[in-house]
Amino acid sequence: MNVRPRRLELTIAAIIFALGALMAGSAWHMPMGTTSLPGPGFLPLAIGILLTATSLTVAARCAMAAGPAEEPTLLGHRFIVVTFAALLGVAWLFERVGFPISIFLFMFVLLVALSPLNWWRAALSAAAAVAVSYVFFGVVLGLNLPRTPLPF
Amino acid sequence: METIDFVMQGFAVALRPENLLFGFVGCLWGTIVGVIPGLGPLTGLTLLLPLTFKLDPTTAIIMLSGIFYGAMYGGSTTSILVRIPGEAASIITCMDGYAMARDGRAGPALMIAAIGSFVGGTASVIGLMLFAPPLADLMLQVGPSAEFGLMLLALLILSFVSQGSPVKTAVMVLIGLAIATIGLDPLTAYPRFTFGSVRLADGINFVAMALGLFGVSEILLNLEEITKVHVIRPTLRSLTPRWKDLKDSAPAIGRGTVIGFVFGFIPGISHVVSTFVSYAVEKRLSNEPEKFGTGKIEGVAGPETANNATTGSAMIPLLVLGIPAIPATSILLSALLIHGVQPGPQIVRDHPDVFWGLIASMYIGNIMLLILNLPLVGLFVNLLRVPYAYLAPGVLLVSVVGIYSVNANTTEIAIMAVFGVIGYVLRKASFDPAPLLLAIVLGDRMEISLRRALMISDGDWWILVQGAMSKIFLGALLLLLVLQGSTWLLGFRRKNAAEIDKI
At A67-122, the pLDDT tens digits run 655 676 766 678 889 999 999 999 999 999 999 999 999 999 999 998 888 899 99
CB contact under 8 A, B174 and A79: no
The answer to whether residues A12 and A69 belong to one domain is yes
CB contact under 8 A, A137 and B401: yes
Secondary structure class of A70 (helix, strand, coil): coil
The answer to whether residues A31 and A91 belong to one domain is no
Which residue among A43, A55, A87 places its CB closest to the CB of B181? A43
Which residues, listed in sequence order, are joined to residue A38 by a DSSP beta bridge?
Answer: A33
Burial annotation B209-226 (CB, 10 A radius, 16+ → b, else e): bbbbbbbbbbbbbbbeee
Last residue in a domain, options A74, A104, A130: A74
SS3 for B216-245 is HHHHHHHHHCCCCCCCCCCCCHHHCCCHHH
Domain ranges of chain B: 2-142+158-443
Name the residue of chain B whose CA is nearest to A21's CA: B178
- B424 lies within 8 A of chain A by CB: yes
Residue from B51, B152, B410 whose CB has the most chain A CBs within 10 Å, to mutate: B410
Which residue among A39, A54, A111 places its CB closest to the CB of B393? A111
- B196 lies within 8 A of chain A by CB: no
Last residue in a domain, options A46, A74, A102: A74
The answer to whether residues A28 and A70 belong to one domain is yes
Chain B segment 398-417 residues within 8 A of A by beta carbon are 398, 400-401, 404-405, 408, 410-411, 413-414, 416-417
Residue A95 lies in a domain: yes
**Alpha helices by DSSP H, B286-387:** 298-316, 327-338, 347-350, 352-373, 377-382
Provide the shortest C-alpha distance from residue B16 to chain A (in Å): 19
Contacts of A73 in chain B (CB under 8 A): 428-429
Chain A segment 102-141 residues within 8 A of B by beta carbon are 103, 106-107, 110-111, 114-116, 125, 129, 133, 137, 141
The answer to whether residues A42 and A100 belong to one domain is no
Distance of alpha carbon B466 from the chain centroid: 33
Residue A61 lies in a domain: yes
Give the pLDDT score at B268: 59
The answer to whether residues A99 and A135 belong to one domain is yes
Handedness of CA B382, B385, B390, B391 (dihedral sign): positive
The CA distance from B141 to B87, in Å, is 38
Residue A149 lies in a domain: no
Residue A56 lies in a domain: yes
Which residue among A88, A114, A143 places its CB closest to the CB of B389? A114
The phi, psi pair for A2, rounded to 5°, reads -100, 130
Residue A150 lies in a domain: no
- B168 lies within 8 A of chain A by CB: yes
**Number of Cβ within a 10 Å radius of residue B430:** 15
Last residue in a domain, options A51, A74, A97: A74
Name the residue of chain B whose CA is nearest to A113's CA: B389
CB contact under 8 A, B171 and A58: yes
The answer to whether residues A48 and A109 belong to one domain is no
Q: What is the pTM of this model?
A: 0.77
Give me the half-sphere count of Cα atoms (radius 13 Å) on the Cβ side of residue A64.
6
CB contact under 8 A, B178 and A19: yes
Contacts of A99 in chain B (CB under 8 A): 401
- A36 lies within 8 A of chain B by CB: yes
Name the residue of chain A whose CA is nearest to B183's CA: A40
Secondary structure class of B183 (helix, strand, coil): strand
Which residue among B192, B220, B413 places its CB closest to the CB of A94? B413
Burial annotation B456-487 (CB, 10 A radius, 16+ → b, else e): ebeeeeebbeebebbeebbeebeeeeeeeeee
Per-residue pLDDT tens digits for B76-102: 887 787 776 666 677 788 888 888 888
The answer to whether residues A58 and A100 belong to one domain is no
A141 near B51, Cβ under 8 Å? yes
Give the pLDDT score at B429: 86
The answer to whether residues A61 and A98 belong to one domain is no
A114 near B389, Cβ under 8 Å? yes
Provide the shortest C-alpha distance from residue A151 to chain B (in Å): 23
Q: What is the CA radius of gyration of chain A?
A: 24
Domain region containing A65: 2-74
Secondary structure class of A3 (helix, strand, coil): strand
Secondary structure class of A72 (helix, strand, coil): coil
The answer to whether residues A54 and A84 belong to one domain is no
Q: For residue B391, give the nearest of A83, A74, A91, A94 by alpha carbon.
A: A83
- A98 lies within 8 A of chain B by CB: no
- B459 lies within 8 A of chain A by CB: yes
Residue A145 lies in a domain: no
Per-residue pLDDT tens digits for A8-55: 888 999 999 999 999 999 999 998 888 777 888 999 999 999 999 999
Residue A51 lies in a domain: yes
The CA distance from A124 to A116, in Å, is 14
Contacts of B461 in chain A (CB under 8 A): 36
Give the pLDDT score at B471: 84
pLDDT in tens, chain B (503 residues): 577 888 888 888 888 898 899 989 999 888 888 877 666 777 788 778 877 877 888 888 889 888 888 887 787 887 787 776 666 677 788 888 888 888 888 888 888 888 888 898 889 888 888 888 888 777 777 788 888 888 888 777 766 656 667 788 889 989 999 999 998 888 888 899 888 888 788 888 887 888 888 778 878 888 876 555 555 666 655 667 788 888 888 999 999 999 888 877 766 556 677 888 888 888 888 888 888 888 888 989 999 999 888 888 888 888 888 877 777 788 888 888 888 888 887 888 888 888 888 888 888 888 888 888 777 777 776 776 777 788 889 888 988 888 887 778 888 899 999 999 999 998 888 888 878 887 887 888 888 888 888 888 888 888 888 888 888 888 888 887 787 777 666 665 565 565 555 54
Count structural domains, chain A. 2
The answer to whether residues A36 and A65 belong to one domain is yes
Residue from A133, A141, A144, A145 whose CB has the most chain B CBs within 10 Å, to mutate: A141
Contacts of A115 in chain B (CB under 8 A): 387, 389-390, 393
B3 near B50, Cβ under 8 Å? no
Which residue among B170, B190, B429 places its CB closest to the CB of A8? B429
The answer to whether residues A109 and A86 belong to one domain is yes
CB contact under 8 A, A38 and B450: yes
Q: For residue B31, give the nearest of B117, B116, B122 by alpha carbon.
A: B117
Provide the shortest C-alpha distance from residue B332 to chain A (in Å): 21
CB contact under 8 A, A87 and B396: yes
Give the pLDDT score at B179: 92
Residue A146 lies in a domain: no
The answer to whether residues A31 and A85 belong to one domain is no
Provide the shortest C-alpha distance from residue A137 to chain B (in Å): 8
